[in-house]
């Protein structure tokens, strides 16, 4: 079945630093989404991408839909303590189910 | 606007028992999907319900079953519980069966002893 890979698996950064993480797949997706999950809660949608090459921002977050349709990137600028959590990418094709990556765990050190 | 709500939030069962988890979809959403999230992993698709019928199923055995009601709320039933069924069960709602966005509830954490 379809699988997504996320890297890095985990990262520790200093408050104020920028963060980059990515998601890759062996299959093509027509929609890429990024979610954040805090401990004990469900994932929250951050950004949705619908077109290859698309670059979309949501506050300090910027995500890009790779032109090959097999990858996506998420950047967080000027990290703050509340950015701590697990970031999941998800791929979706019309008529199929969502496929989630294993997540990138972000820790922000003061 | 009311978000996705799930109940119960936590529960403990023993092997062989049966469990029912409940979900109310976000206001205006007519499609509900259920996901299983094991510790340290991403959510895995169980099935989706649209217009009270199952509309897609992941790689889960038949002892995982569900229902959707006319008000679009949904239930997930798991029979003959196994230890590996211990996980966070997430419900997600959307408007339409083929929309590109899901909105999740906070989940029901099931522990099977």
Which of chain B's residues have a Cβ under 8 Å away from the Cβ of A100?
Answer: 35, 42-44
Confidence check: pLDDT of B87 > 70: yes
- Chain B: residue whose CA lies nearest to A95: B98
Q: Which pLDDT tens digits describe chain A residue by residue (110 residues)?
A: 678 999 999 999 999 999 999 999 999 999 999 999 998 889 999 999 999 999 999 999 999 999 999 999 999 999 999 999 999 999 998 878 889 999 999 999 98
User: What value does the mean pLDDT take over residues B14-40?
Assistant: 94
Percent of chain B whose predicted confidence (pLDDT) is above 90: 82
What pLDDT score does A86 carry?
Answer: 97
More confident residue, B56 or A16: A16
Q: Rounded to an integer, what is the distance from CA B51 to the centroid of its chain?
A: 16
Q: Are strands B108-112 and B10-13 parallel, antiparallel or unpaired?
A: parallel
Give the H or E element holding residue B76: strand B74-78
What pLDDT score does A1 carry?
Answer: 62
Q: How many CB atoms lie within 10 A of CB A57?
A: 11
What pLDDT score does B1 carry?
Answer: 56
CA-CA distance, B24 to B69, in Å (whole number)?
10
Nearest by CB to residue A94, choosing from B45, B98, B104, is: B98
Confidence check: pLDDT of B97 > 80: no
**Average pLDDT across chain B, whole number:** 93
Give the model's confidence band at B13: pLDDT under 50 very low, under 70 low, under 90 confident, else very high: very high
Is some CB atom of chain B closer than 8 A to the CB atom of A23?
no
Instruction: Tell me how close the Cα of A100 comes to any Cα of chain B, in angstroms.
Output: 6
Residues from B contacting A (CB-CB < 8 Å) are 4, 33, 35, 40-45, 48, 56, 58-59, 90, 92, 98, 100-107
């Amino acid at each position: 079945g379809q699988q997504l890979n996320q890297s890095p698996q985990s990262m520790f950064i200093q408050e104020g630093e920028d963060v980059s993480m990515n998601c890759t797949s062996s299959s093509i997706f027509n929609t890429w989404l990024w979610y954040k999950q805090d401990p004990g809660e469900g994932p929250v949608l951050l950004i949705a991408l619908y077109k290859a090459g698309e670059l979309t921002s949501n506050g300090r977050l910027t995500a890009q839909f790779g032109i090959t349709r097999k990858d996506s990137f998420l950047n967080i600028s000027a990290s703050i303590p509340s950015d701590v959590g697990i970031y999941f990418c998800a791929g979706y094709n019309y008529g199929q189910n969502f496929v989630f990556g294993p997540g990138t765990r972000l820790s922000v050190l003061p | 606007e009311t978000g996705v709500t799930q109940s119960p939030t936590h529960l403990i069962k023993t092997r062989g028992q049966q469990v029912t988890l409940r979900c109310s979809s976000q206001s205006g959403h007519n499609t509900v999907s259920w996901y299983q999230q094991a510790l340290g992993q991403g959510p895995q698709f169980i099935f989706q319900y649209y217009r009270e019928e199952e509309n897609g199923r992941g790689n889960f055995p038949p002892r995982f079953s569900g229902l959707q009601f006319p008000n679009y709320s949904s239930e997930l039933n798991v029979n003959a519980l196994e230890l590996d069924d211990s996980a966070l069960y997430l419900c997600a709602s959307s408007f339409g069966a083929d929309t590109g966005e899901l909105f999740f509830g906070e989940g029901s954490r099931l522990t099977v002893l």
